[in-house]
Amino acid sequence: MTGPRYTELVAGLPASVPFVGPEAQERARGAGFAARLGANESRFGPSPAAIAAMAAAAADAWMYGDPEAFDLREAIAAYHGVTRANVLVGEGIDGILGNLVRLLVAPGDAVVTSDGAYPTFNFHVAGFGGVLHKVPYDGNHEDPVALVRKAGEVGAKLVYLANPDNPMGSWHGADVVGRMIAALPDGCLLALDEAYVELAPEGTAAEIAADDPRVIRLRTFSKGHGLAGLRVGYALAAPGLIAAFDKVRNHFGMGRVAQAGALAALQDRDWLVAVRGRVEAARAGLAAIARANGLEPLPSATNFVTMDCGGDGALARAVVQALGQRSVFVRMPFVPPHDRCIRVSCGTEADLALVAAALPEALAEARKLTAV
């Protein structure tokens, strides 16, 4: 008896997991984390209105969600001043990215990203047989000029930019993004990941015509709106591209409760303003904790602070492990030279107190282990 006959592409892929979740780490250590600050979730939670909407929708969970997500798409369109034809709703930005790559990238097609940028995008490209071409960051920022140059050199169909950026927390102003779009080579689409843009300074989000065929903008309810557990994301793009997703998307992938929660969250703008304030306060608190321990906090336009540990990847990795042993879950960038840093999500005052207590001990242990 034989097993399943995998495609040649899948058979050649490594058995990799982009992220090891905190739940898996908790199972391995036999205890939960007291401070869950590694996944860039919103510790401030969803809007009470969203919670109420989800509770009300729960009784109707026996029904599939609207496969057109009509009401949510209408609300998103009104929020952005576009038409429903410009809006796609999907299973988080990750799910939309997977379908975008499936639409555009055949085996051997060139795709451009930054070395060290969001790894799930790379995971999708590899899964569909695309060829990734990476450019280095410019310091702690993604380099739009280098991305466009590389896209022209390799004839890329797709180029990825996150603004603001994960894992460094850096950002570019709208003018920089606008110049990047203007310089894109013919036939190259920009996947502009704006997962954190609601938490960024004014002037970060570029003004882009909804019908511009050169760009697809990606947004999420996971960060500022505090609904990471629902997996609701959306895209803004020209109607032709949005319609093309109907050829490949999971039409019943967005459940009824998730749609209700996201719709209520979008409508509660006061909650988002309040969360922005709490995130700004937490960023300042984390920066102060970093400086008190001799670390350099990098400027952030996100709901996390990246801290330069002053060494290399071995030191930062030891710090992450030592913090985990002290019940504080954080993560770190994967690629040098950014792997000299740790990345700590914004949290409550209680969370920050746990970080402040654990970090000195974790640093001392890590420096001793790595002789730094």
Q: CB neighbours of 64 closer than 8 A, spacing ≥ 6?
A: 252, 255, 256
Domains of the chain as residue ranges with CATH? 19-45+270-370 (3.90.1150.10), 48-267 (3.40.640.10)
**pLDDT of res. 146:** 98
Q: 157 with 151: CB under 8 angstroms? A: no
pTM for the structure as a whole: 0.95
Does residue 82 surpass a pLDDT of 80?
yes
Computed from CA positions of residues 90, 91, 94, 95, in that sequence, does the dihedral angle turn out positive or negative?
negative
Beta bridge partners of 87: 236
Segment 315-328 shows an average pLDDT of 97
Segment 221-246 shows an average pLDDT of 97
Instruction: Band the pLDDT of 2: cuts 50, 70, 90.
Output: confident
**pLDDT of res. 15:** 81
CB atoms within 10 A of CB 23: 11
Does residue 316 surpass a pLDDT of 70?
yes
Q: Pick from 132, 184, 139, 142: which is nearest to 162 by CA?
A: 142
Where is pLDDT greater, at 51 or 13? 51
**pLDDT of res. 55:** 98
For 147, the token pair is 């991305």
Instruction: Band the pLDDT of 283: cuts 50, 70, 90.
Output: very high
Segment 150-169 shows an average pLDDT of 98
Instruction: Band the pLDDT of 19: cuts 50, 70, 90.
Output: confident
Segment 205-220 shows an average pLDDT of 96
Instruction: Band the pLDDT of 78: cuts 50, 70, 90.
Output: very high
**pLDDT of res. 60:** 96
Does residue 198 surpass a pLDDT of 60?
yes
Give the span between the Cα atoms of 266 and 167, in whole angstroms: 26
Our CA angle for 268, 270, 273, nearest 5°, is 120
Phi, psi of 354 (to 5 degrees): -65, -40
What are the Cα distances from residue 241, in Å, to 85, 204, 236, 248? 10, 24, 10, 12
DSSP 72: H
Give the span between the Cα atoms of 322 and 365, in whole angstroms: 7
How far does the chain reach from its first CA to its final CA, in angstroms?
Answer: 55
Instruction: Band the pLDDT of 1: cuts 50, 70, 90.
Output: low
Our CA angle for 266, 66, 96, nearest 5°, is 65
3 state SS of 146? helix
**pLDDT of res. 125:** 96
Give the span between the Cα atoms of 305 and 346, in whole angstroms: 7
Does residue 372 surpass a pLDDT of 70?
no
Q: 360 with 295: CB under 8 angstroms? A: no
Does residue 117 surpass a pLDDT of 90?
yes
For 74, the token pair is 């209408």
Segment 248-272 shows an average pLDDT of 96
**What average pLDDT is seen over the chain?**
96
For 333, the token pair is 């960038």
Q: 262 with 223: CB under 8 angstroms? A: no
Does residue 317 surpass a pLDDT of 70?
yes
